[in-house]
Amino acid sequence: MKNIKIALDGHSSCGKSTLAKQLAAHYGFLFIDTGAMYRAVTLYALKNGIVSFDDKIDEDKLRESMGKIEIAFKRVDNQNHTLLNGEDVEKEIRQLEVSKRVSKISAIAFVREKLVDFQRRISENSSVVMDGRDIGTVVFPNAEVKFFVTANADVRAERRYKELLEKGEKVDFEQIKQSVITRDKLDSEREVSPLRKADDAIVLDNSFMTREEQFEFAKNIIDKVLK
């Protein structure tokens, strides 16, 4: 069977990865979380003094470091974990310190080049469900199915807030909402591969959908394409 690419792009914290995981499990496809890759590079930059506390990025140092950054994924207790140079950083990459800076790092062209190349390579021999911002527009412009997932900002902030609370983190709702809004703006307005809906992507606004409804919506569309 031909390898199928399902692209899931959209705004921050709108449940893309939940849907991507459900779809990957249902169809037996590989799930690839590209946001985790940009987060891992951001974490590396934070840990190695490449991004300062006032958010200045030493681009020369980052360019030099790109060859030293190795990202991989591993299954732990049936969950996907991100490895940065062999270390499990799944928890750290989701923290607000990383979320606040990841848009700036992901706006850098040489960072995107390296990660897009990696995304294509790891998908070479499999059918994949890939979630990100530029999957349907840049990484796989010929993807068989493309979704553009969104939800209103309050709903998204609320979901992220609950998720972090459940993980035992001390979080402030307003701060999270601001981070979601700022990230949308930075992701959509950057020069290189901005977040935008591919012309042939299907919009999935899940503000008032349950996870199950969202899954059914996507599954119906994919089933038709796979027939």
Residue whose CB is less far from ligand DC, 126 or 226:
126
Residue whose CB is less far from ligand DC, 126 or 223:
126
**What are the CA-CA distances from residue 31 to residues 16, 68, 123 (Å)?**
11, 24, 10
Pick one of 106, 123, 137, 214: the residue that binds ligand DC (CB under 6 A).
106
Q: Confirm if 218 and 202 have CB atoms less than 8 A apart.
A: no
User: Which residue has 């989701």 as its token pair?
Assistant: 94
CB of 224 to ligand DC, least distance (A): 26
Angle between helix axes 109-123 and 96-106 (nearest 10 degrees) is 100
- 130's tokens: 């890939």
Pick one of 22, 82, 103, 123: the residue that binds ligand DC (CB under 6 A).
103
Q: Give the CA angle between residues 49, 60, 188 to the nearest 5°.
A: 85
CB of 106 to ligand DC, least distance (A): 4
Q: Say whether residue 187 binds ligand DC (CB under 6 A).
A: yes
145 Cβ neighbours under 8 A, 6+ residues apart: 4, 5, 6, 7, 202, 221, 222, 225
Amino acid, single-letter form, for residue 32: I
Residue whose CB is less far from ligand DC, 12 or 214:
12
CB of 34 to ligand DC, least distance (A): 4
**Beta-carbon neighbour count of residue 25 at 10 Å?**
12
Footprint of ligand DC on residues 26-45 (CB under 6 A)? Answer: 34-35, 38-39
Q: Whole-angstrom Cα distance, residue 195 to residue 11?
A: 8
User: Site for ligand DC (CB under 6 A): how many residues?
Assistant: 13
Footprint of ligand DC on residues 124-183 (CB under 6 A)? Answer: 132-134, 183
Q: Say whether residue 90 binds ligand DC (CB under 6 A).
A: no
Residues at the interface with ligand DC (CB under 6 A): 12, 34-35, 38-39, 102-103, 106, 132-134, 183, 187
